[in-house]
Amino acid sequence: MELIRKYFDGLSPQQITHFENLEDLYKDWNLKINVVSRKDIDELYLRHVLHSLGIAKVQKFNPDSHILDVGTGGGFPGIPMAILFPEVNFHLVDSIGKKMKVVEEAVAGLGLKNVKTTNDRVENVDGHYDFIISRAVAAMPTFVRWTKGKIAKKSNHELKNGILYLKGGDLSEELADYQTAKIYELTDYFEEDFFETKKVVHLPLKYKG
């Protein structure tokens, strides 16, 4: 938890409580349904929570904006981001039922009122969103295809509406066809070695009505 406070000051008492409760919630659920590896559960705040919050270093979300988390898995990056931005609407989607069960229980356990969950393929989800966030669930061309037609028309943030994607490694080949994509190195924001190859990719997408 100190790791989160190191990089995010001004957290409310409720936000601090939510972040503190994440570890016990995930450790408890991980005994029943293995959604996070044993190594990762021991470093939950570094490898999952802070990593998820890297998106917030690239773009802070305005109140009442709508964010879609695709392939949320155990609730990352959506749940940490929903704690950080309590006035933002988050929609967490995953096609794997057992993972969504953990997400639903975590959301209920934390009492998060700004999170909606859907157990389905993202192609079947209706709605338009300011940003679509995710953690490396597919190569960018596949991810763009999955999320086609889900970007809101009006842009209300510093960055244009589109995808904010947590990725790692060399992305030159994967992003070759996306000239408007911009890569943000997480080492510019976090000093831990874990982030050495970690990035946030912003890919602006046009509204398609």
Annotated binding site for S-adenosyl-L-methionine: 71, 76, 122-123, 135
Torsion from C-alpha of 117, 121, 135, 73, nearest 10 degrees = 50
Binding site listing: 71, 76, 122-123, 135
CA-closest candidate to residue 201, choices 137, 124, 152 = 137
Backbone angles phi, psi at 198, to 5 degrees: -90, 145
- Rounded to the nearest 5 degrees, what angle is found at the Cα of 135, between the Cα atoms of 179 and 1? 130
Gap between the Cα atoms of 183 and 82, Å rounded:
23
Per-residue three-class SS string for 1-30: CHHHHHHCCCCCHHHHHHHHHHHHHHHHHH
Do 74 and 99 touch, CB atoms closer than 8 A? Answer: yes
- CA 198 to the chain's CA centroid: 14
